[in-house]
Every structure is written in structure tokens, then in C-alpha cells.
Amino acid sequence: MTVGVAIIGTGVMGAEHARLLDREVSAAQVRGVFDLDAERAAATVARVPSARAFDDPFELIADSAVDAVVVASADPTHERFVLAALAGRKPVLCEKPLAPDVAGCERIIAAELAVGRRLVSVGFMRRFDPGYLRLKQAVDAGGLGLPLMLHCTHRNQQAPAGLPSESLISGSAVHELDIARWLLGEELSRITVHRPRSSRASLPTEDPLFLVVESSSGVIIDIEVFVNSGYGYEVRCELVAERGTVSLDAPAPVVERRAGAVLRAVPADWRPRFAAAYRSELQNWVDSIEYGAPCDAATSWDGYAATVTAQAGILALRTGLAQPVSHLDRPELYPAPTGGARPAQSTAPG
């Protein structure tokens, strides 16, 4: 058996998901793609022989050859495609954010609840990265004692000119906001955003930004986001606990010694850094659909929590004041939490 997949949006991420599903993920076949930019869709179809380009995204989602949907289009379009997948009772893996606004996330959760089983996954792929998984194992094993602080760094080589400063929070730091909840197993409660001097290469974008986030048990999480670092893509994470620390090491396995220097390559963007995570995320998602295996991807609730926190961060940036992360206690969306991050809503999609 093979899971027939539709891909909506074949830009950088959609094309990469199509390549991985075609070449590196078992039990899956890309059956169709749609992109507003027909040339981009055609370029993906040329590399993925099992796929054909559709003229209408909703016809593609409803097509009988399509069992599941990947949404990798522009952020504001996610909600309508996720809702269409839910209307067809089809599992959907939506790139982050689930929706850029809280109300959009709430509509998705309500539609999923109406279906009555888990169908939505959100592409917070760091949850599948071998390094982050080791960090989580170390935290959960308990030998380090209670977590006290989490230091996070998120650097991109270069961002598009004129990028809104808010995007540093909603597009970049949102990965750290999700991974902090996942690592610590609890919700975030308060967020402040500091503006260091901006790099002259970034203006008018305010870059870097420095976020200070508190978890509900009092762990302090600091997040540096610097999207025009100039040297490459790098993510760091160190957890400080009562009896020790645990941190990500440089993932590059090769070190070159030459001309009086020790050189370790830094990737230009996130794709090589998280290649294993993207592959593993897709395989886990396909296995959950095909074999009923547990789906470890972020749920719609996780996507909602990330958007709520990012929106509080944007308000903190605009006002210069600490903001509570509110709206997270929504019993009408889920049963009241029993403490810590909410568990997966149910078992596997499909």
C-alpha cells in the first residue's frame, strides 16, 4: 500500500518535501501538486514523475488518488487548505505556522474536533532532529535535575530586504517557542522582546532581536534571533539544569585543518542542517497514516500554542512591555490540561 500525497505550494519547502517523499520516504507517492506559480509546479512535476500539476488546489485535495495533504504554501493560505483537507477527512501536514493568526488556528482545531480524530500535524521538524531528540532524552531521564534556563540562538545568513521585524518572531523564533514547550513539557506564560542595536545590513528590519520567555514553572528561556548574521545558518541550544547542562554540538561531522586554521563548514540555510529531521518527520507522518504508527509531529494544539505565543511576542515588540501568553486555557477546544504540555489529541491520523 502507498499513501498518495498532494502538495500545495512548491516553493523551497514544498519542492523539498516532494523530493523527499519521492526519493527518501517509503510507502508514499506524490500524486499531485498545485502552486499559484504554474512554473514552480511544473518544475516539481518534472523532477517527480508520479505527480501531475493541478489547476485547482481544492480539486487536488478532493481527488480520489490523494490520501493525505502537505501544505507548504504562503503562511496566510494555510488555513483554507487545512480546512479543505479536514472537510475531506484527509490527514494534513501543514508547514509552520498552522495559521498566522490565533482565530485561524481556533477554526482549524474546531474543524478537527468536529471530525473527531487527529488529522492535523504541524511541520515543527526540530522535534525529529537527532540532536534535539538527545536533548529531550537527557531532560526526561531526570539525571540533570530540574531545568532552570534554556539559551537558544537562531541565526540565518541573510534575510530578504525589508523583512518586517515581526517576522523574526513569527517566522524564525517560533521554532524555538515550539521546541521550548516540547523540551520542557510545559506551557509558556510570559514574553518580553528586547531590541539590541540593529545591524546596518538589516535596516529597516530590527535585527537582531532578543526574546526572554518564562515557562509556567519559572524556567527562563532566552532566544537570540539574528536573520542577517552574514556567515550562515546556525541554531544553538543549551539547557541549564540543577546538576548539569546539555547542549547541541555543531552537527557538521567534518573538520578541516588548513592554512593555520581549523575550519568547520556552516550551512547556508536550514535544509542541510535539518535534512534528517525533515525526512524523519515525513516518514513518521506517512507511517502513522499507512500503519497506524504513533504520530510524533506537533499537533494542531501545538500549532495554536506557537501562534498564540508568537502573537504575544509581536505585541511585546510593539509595546516594549512584557506580555502574558494568554488564551492557552481553552476548555472548549480541549479538555482542561492536567499539567505540562498537553498530550497528543488522540492516536494516529488516518
User: Which positions lie near ligand NAI, rule CB under 6 A?
Assistant: 8-14, 34-37, 40, 57, 72-75, 77, 95-96, 123, 125, 171, 270
- Our CB check for ligand NAI shows the closer of 60 and 184 to be 60
Please tell me what DSSP assigns to residue 298.
Answer: B
Considering beta carbons, is residue 202 or 307 the nearer one to ligand NAI?
307
C-alpha 143 chain-centroid distance:
28
Of 174, 188, 179, 187, residue with least CA distance to 225: 174
Nearest approach, Cβ of residue 38 and ligand NAI (Å): 9
CA angle, residues 198, 199, 200, in degrees to nearest 5: 110
How far, in Å, are 85, 205, 311 from residue 268 at the CA level?
A: 34, 20, 28
CB of 231 to ligand NAI, least distance (A): 19
Q: What's the start-to-end Cα distance of the chain, in Å? A: 14
Closest CA to 188 of 344, 308, 335, 317: 308
Shorter beta-carbon distance to ligand NAI: residue 84 or 125: 125
Report the residue number, 72 or 297, with the smaller CB distance to ligand NAI.
72
Residue 170: CB minimum distance to ligand NAI, A = 9
Give the nearest distance from C-beta 122 to ligand NAI in angstroms: 9
**51: closest CA among 6, 92, 3?**
6
CB of 99 or CB of 239, closer to ligand NAI? 99
Task: Write the CA distances from 122 to 79, 306, 332, integer angstroms.
Answer: 12, 10, 21
Distance (Å, whole) CA 313 – CA 8:
29
Q: Is there a contact between 71 and 94 (Cβ–Cβ < 8 Å)?
A: yes
Min dist. Cβ of residue 52 to ligand NAI (A):
16
Q: Which is nearer to ligand NAI, 8 or 53 (CB)?
A: 8
Q: Which residue is nearest to ligand NAI (CB)?
A: 11
Q: CB of 150: closest distance to ligand NAI in angstroms?
A: 20
